[in-house]
Amino acid sequence: MATQLPGMKVAGPLEADKATHLVLAEPKRTMKLLRAVARGAWVLTPDWVTASAEAGRWVDEAPYETEHFPGAKRAREAMHPGGTAAGTGAAGAAADSLTGGGGISGRGRCAGAGGGALQGGCTSIVSRKSLLLNGMRICVQERSAPPSAAELKALVTAAGGELAPRAKGAAVVISSGGSGVGAGGPGGKGRRGGSAMAGKDAEVVKETWLMQAIADYAVPPFYDYRPF
């Protein structure tokens, strides 16, 4: 259905992280959803595609923005204050392509989680200051359990954070879940749930801290996400 309308195209697997729209088949918190929120993409219900097909054009996205993840709207509005942000919009402006921390203008793409995905064309630049984790140094420890360290690192950079190669010197350490991290662990601070390798002022948290921060587009309290 999405391919029947002009101005957009379905994004393939290699283009998904440049998508400007995510159509949610189900309201599940997936890594694809979190990456879309982090880059300020529209997160829409399938009704947007249906309504567009019936109208014979891409209709305004706003009435179809998901209510299951309010952080998506906050992220989009923070990155695009006063604009329709990465979207086709009622006036027919097509989508931006936003990647990583800073923002790249160019062709737009729309990726569907279990649904369709589209492409348009517009120009926009996102200020790093509008990104959730701007200026925050975060160390993601290697891990065997999903999500992978690579996926978490991608979320950090998409949200404007700076990847720290080591725990020492990081403001936040996303724990691997090993015994070296946690309240009362060797060299750790009970209040902060510190790591033996982390600086004394580092916040050590589970990966769910990062995922919740992106989903809500608000930094949650660290103490709710201690590893132990």
Residues 106 and 152 in one domain: no
d(CA 146, CA 167): 20
Residues 119 and 157 in one domain: no
Q: What is the per-residue pLDDT for 223?
A: 93
Residues 22 and 114 in one domain: yes
d(CA 12, CA 187): 46
Query: pLDDT digit of tens for each residue in the chain (228 aa)?
Result: 555 677 776 776 666 677 889 999 899 999 999 999 998 999 999 999 999 999 999 999 999 999 999 999 999 999 877 654 444 443 232 333 322 222 222 234 444 444 434 444 443 456 667 799 998 999 999 998 899 999 999 999 999 999 999 998 999 999 986 544 433 333 344 344 445 456 667 999 999 999 999 999 999 999 999 997
Residues 82 and 24 in one domain: yes
Question: What CA–CA distances, in Å, run from 113 to 17, 95, 99, 159?
Answer: 12, 18, 18, 20
Q: Is 40 left (phi over 0), alpha (psi -120 to 50) or beta?
A: left
d(CA 58, CA 61): 8
d(CA 124, CA 121): 10
Residues 47 and 97 in one domain: yes
How many domains does the structure of the chain reveal? 2
Residues 118 and 219 in one domain: no
The residue segments making up the domain with residue 37 are 2-125
d(CA 85, CA 137): 27
Q: What is the per-residue pLDDT for 14?
A: 61
Q: Which of 102, 125, 148 is the last residue of a domain?
A: 125
Residues 203 and 186 in one domain: yes
Q: Which of 69, 101, 125 is the last residue of a domain?
A: 125
